[in-house]
Amino acid sequence: MIPPLLSGTSVIAKTGASSLVFRDPTISSLLSVGEELNVSIVQRHSARQFLVALKDRMILADSATPLRVGDELRVRVDQQCPQLVLRVLSENGAARDILTENLRFFRANPEGLLGNLQRTEVLLAQAIAHPRLPAVLQSEIRTILKLIQTLRYSETAIDNRNYLSDYPIDLGLLMESHLKKVLFAKGGQTGRNDRVSGGLKELLLQLTGKLSTLATDDTLPAELRLTLQQVQSSAEKTAKAIENQQVINVMLQEMEHTYMLQIPLQFPGGIKLGDILIREDDRTDRTSGGSRSFAVELFFDLDMLGHVLIELHLKDKQISCICKCEEAAVREFISSCLPELQEELFTLGYRVERLACVVEKDLEKQRLTLQGNYQLYSAESINLFA
């Protein structure tokens, strides 16, 4: 029998470093530098947490690398103080298989998140409208429907200046959620208390657990049971699509210091995804207090304006932005809005180096070229883990 989880123990698994970092001094005292041993993944605790068996103990692990129950890792003790660091020497390949699987899924289904969100919303609306829906599900489904609507950037979201910072947390990209908590803790602040910590993904997983118990409830009408089965299937697929976004962001961050967000944009004619890539340039030591520079690329396929590509460079409070469109009339419209935008930026304390709109053709081709600069999108990226 493996002893229970030790109080205050945490593990962090980093893809790029291929290491496990243990912060608990009790674990450190059990090992010596240079020692090699096997660890195994015993149980999946949550989206990015696993129970790891080590020296007849079971310890909670935060893993940036997706793992499967049953994974066996061969590790070496590289450091004991101030933290115990175990370097991964070999693994059974399951983690690499998961990364490759998620990479292939994303490249084959670049708009998979949007399709799953839309289908889940429709099915949830059908379920909530049924008069025989159990009361235990009504409040939960309403919360999920409201959260899905919150995720869309629409006319009502324009005045919400926190939309982009809230979006990763509301969706359930736990990596961003954990980062937000750290930032709040350092600043002595508290985050919004009306948000589920795991976002939409956590709510969907909780819902599927409840629906599985109702699938065989003969007291419910057959029509409702069929709808709930469809909801369960769709919710599982949507949670998987969100998890795919998590894995992709882990890969991007580890390989290229980049984050990717896919924002659902609400238009009168329907919903489209807007892609945002945020890359940190000239990465500096966070503890040195040096300047940080970011390049942001936003690509939108807009209802009335067509393709729009925005290239933004930001360093401290200095900003440069070029907006590209494909028609002269669109350029005139966007250009007419730039003075107001510049005033807003000045009010926020930014120094604007350049703020312009230009006409360029084949923006879709430019988008593919820009994406080709990232290993995630390149033809060779499928072999990264070989």
Looking at the fold, whether 62 and 158 belong to one and the same domain comes out as no
Integer Cα distance of 354 and 370 in angstroms: 21
pLDDT of residue 180: 46
Check whether residue 47 and residue 178 sit in a common domain. Answer: no
Burial 90-115 (b: 16+ CB within 10 A, else e): ebeebbeebbbebbebbeeeeebbbe
Look up the CATH number of the domain holding residue 42.
2.40.50
Which of residues 59, 75, 92 is at a domain's end?
92
Contact present, 288 and 294 (Cβ < 8 Å): no
Q: CA 61 to CA 46: how far, in whole Å?
A: 10
Host domain of residue 18:
11-92
Closest of 270, 240, 279 to residue 98, by C-alpha: 240
What are the Cα distances from residue 310, in Å, to 167, 255, 323? 20, 23, 4
**Are residues 69 and 136 part of one domain?**
no
* Strand 293-302 to 270-281 pairing: antiparallel
Per the DSSP assignment, residues forming a β-bridge with 260 are 277
Q: How many domains does the chain have?
A: 3
Rounded Cα distance between 123 and 382, Å, is 35
The pLDDT value given to residue 272: 87
**Local confidence pLDDT in tens for the 386 residues of the chain:** 333 333 333 333 333 345 555 555 566 667 777 788 788 878 776 556 677 788 777 777 666 556 667 778 777 777 766 666 667 675 555 556 666 777 778 878 888 899 999 999 999 999 999 999 998 899 999 999 999 999 998 877 666 668 888 888 899 886 444 544 544 444 444 444 444 456 899 899 999 988 888 877 888 899 999 999 999 999 999 998 998 888 888 778 777 788 888 999 888 778 888 899 988 875 554 545 667 889 999 999 888 889 999 999 998 889 999 999 999 999 999 999 999 999 999 998 999 999 999 999 999 888 888 877 776 665 334 333 33
Same domain, 85 and 114: no
Tell me if the pTM is above 0.75.
no
Predicted pLDDT at 231: 94
Identity of the residue numbered 123: L
Closest CA to 133 of 225, 236, 235: 225
Residue matched to tokens 């923006």: 363
Q: Is 260 within the bounds of a domain?
A: no
Smallest Cα–Cα separation from 71: which of 39, 36, 41? 41
Predicted confidence at residue 363, as pLDDT, reads: 92
pLDDT at residue number 120: 95
Q: Are residues 180 and 309 in the same domain?
A: no
Asked whether residue 273 is domain-assigned, the answer is no
Tokens in use for 108? Answer: 């084959």
What 3-state DSSP class applies to 279? strand
For residue 352, give the CATH number of its domain.
3.30.750
Measured between alpha carbons, how far is 297 from 261 in angstroms, rounded to an integer? 11
Please check whether residues 146 and 84 belong to one and the same domain. no
**C-beta separation of 282 from 293 below 8 A:** yes
- Same structural domain, 123 and 158: yes
